[in-house]
Amino acid sequence: MEAIKSLREPIVCVLGHVDHGKTTLLDDIRGTSIAEKEAGRITQKIGATEISYNILEREIKTAFKNIPIKIPGLLFIDTPGHVAFSNMRSLGGALADIAILVIDVNEGLKPQTIESIDILKKFKTPFIIAANKIDAVPYFVNTSNTSFANAIKMQRREYIEELDNRIYKLISDLYTYGINADRYDRISDFSKTFAIVPVSAKLKIGIADILMVLSGLAQKFLENEIRLTYEKTLGTVIEVKIEESIGITLDTILYQGMLKRGDTIAVNTSNGPARTRVKAILVNSNRGLKESEKVVAAAGIRVLITDKIPVIAGTSMIKIDENTSEDEAFKTIINESKPNIKISEHGVTVKAEALGSLEAIAYELEQASINIRSAEIGDITKHDVTDVSTLNDPLDRIIIGFNVSVLDDAVQEAASSDIGIITGNVIYSLVDDAQKWLAKRKH
């Protein structure tokens, strides 16, 4: 079997509640690519880890024979969590084509699991569920570095019962959130049922199963999303670095088309859309960063640009060429930078670090029936404070900051007013705190 040339790597993101094992699972997946790195092949890239066709095939083969792999590999976004997921946009919606929702099988659904489900539903992103920490289920017979399919054969009846109880509980809890799920090896129709893959990230159990189910879903249901076309070249800037000696570099996930040295691109800056050129493209290699003449999607790349412009992370990079005019690219960039949030005459003021996180917190506030009067990107400034403190309705005099700082003069200004400022980096606690603040003020 060989990968179909017209498909690109599906982009995968990992989400889930704090401590449920996202980073450990990503490390395991990266680990599979490190083994190949020793054999001299390039695998790890900037901001994302590529699992090549060969690794994918080799890993899956350890447990599942005769599974045809048609995709050219998988590209895992290195930053886990639903906030990163929301901030990484593509023109079609979410940058990730598919997601892994990690749930501690012993703890079940938690606030950030539910936020993740909300966000995945909002973006219509397909996902699989990794039911993690199966080694912490009673009666576990120790094993490691194997598939779930193999590991379960070694377990005693008592363990299988305990695990099943937890999985049934998970299935019924997920059902209350509109997710019809089952253990992956008990599913007959993957278009109707979400797959639960039992894993132990700690003991590297179930990695082959995760890769198999992800690949299967992607090649069966995402063929249109992952069709490689060269008509337009599109990427998402995930990190901007200003390096004194070299200039400005943009860590970018290229998700469509092909980018070459010397290409002209449009990006978004704090002064609006701008045109610049690709001075160099760097990719990770086993000897560190390496220059590359051209790259084909999907890939994590570092782009050195020719102009010193204040590019905003989380926005699009669009290649300007015979298929895409500068005008069209700029219009697209302007359009995507407008938040999609319902604004009311009365309500709270929200500030967040990036467009995606602004929309994510707005969405959760909406779910909690809290209206929003204003929503903007950036730190909390003195201007925000004076603006809010002059509002007539005392219930409107509150600013919620998600992943932002309160600037010094804003702190001073707030001290002499009756406004509330709530900041933090966990959505559900911010929503909780806002509800408490509003309830208190009502009385």
Residues that bind ligand GTP (CB under 6 A): 16, 18-24, 80, 132-133, 135-136, 200-202
Strand partners, 28: none
Q: Is 383 a known ligand-binding residue? A: no
Could you tell me the CA-to-CA distances from 262 to 40, 175, 277, 297, 305 in Å, in that order?
29, 51, 6, 17, 9
From the list ligand GTP, Mg ion, none, pick the one residue 24 interacts with, judged by a Cβ distance below 5 to 8 Å according to partner type. Answer: ligand GTP
Residue number, 20 or 45, with CB nearest to ligand GTP: 20
* Sign of torsion over alpha carbons 41, 43, 44, 46: positive
Q: Is 349 a known ligand-binding residue? A: no
Residue number, 14 or 282, with CB nearest to Mg ion: 14
Q: Is 134 a known ligand-binding residue? A: yes
H or E, element range at 402: strand 398-402
Could you tell me the CA-to-CA distances from 204 to 44, 55, 162 in Å, in that order?
19, 16, 20
In whole angstroms, the minimum distance from the beta carbon of 24 to ligand GTP comes to 3
In whole angstroms, the minimum distance from the beta carbon of 133 to ligand GTP comes to 4
Residue number, 72 or 198, with CB nearest to ligand GTP: 198
Q: Is 78 a known ligand-binding residue? A: yes
Residue number, 199 or 400, with CB nearest to ligand GTP: 199
Cβ neighbours, 10 Å, residue 87: 26
Alpha-carbon distance of 338 to 426, in angstroms, equals: 23
Q: Is 24 a known ligand-binding residue? A: no
Strand pairing category for 398-402 and 348-352 = parallel
Q: Is 23 a known ligand-binding residue? A: yes
Q: Is 443 a known ligand-binding residue? A: no
In whole angstroms, the minimum distance from the beta carbon of 152 to ligand GTP comes to 15
Backbone angles phi, psi at 116, to 5 degrees: -60, -45
From the list Mg ion, ligand GTP, none, pick the one residue 21 interacts with, judged by a Cβ distance below 5 to 8 Å according to partner type. Answer: ligand GTP
From the list Mg ion, ligand GTP, none, pick the one residue 132 interacts with, judged by a Cβ distance below 5 to 8 Å according to partner type. Answer: ligand GTP
Cβ neighbours, 10 Å, residue 225: 19
List strand residue ranges (DSSP E) for 213-357, in order.
234-243, 247-256, 258-260, 264-269, 272-285, 288-291, 294-296, 299-305, 316-320, 348-352
- 285 lies in the site for Mg ion, by CB under 5 A: no
Residue number, 77 or 421, with CB nearest to ligand GTP: 77
| Residues between 17 and 46 that touch Mg ion (CB under 5 A) | 22-23
Binding-site residues, please? 16-23, 78-82, 132-135
Q: Which residues are annotated as a binding site for GTP?
A: 16-23, 78-82, 132-135
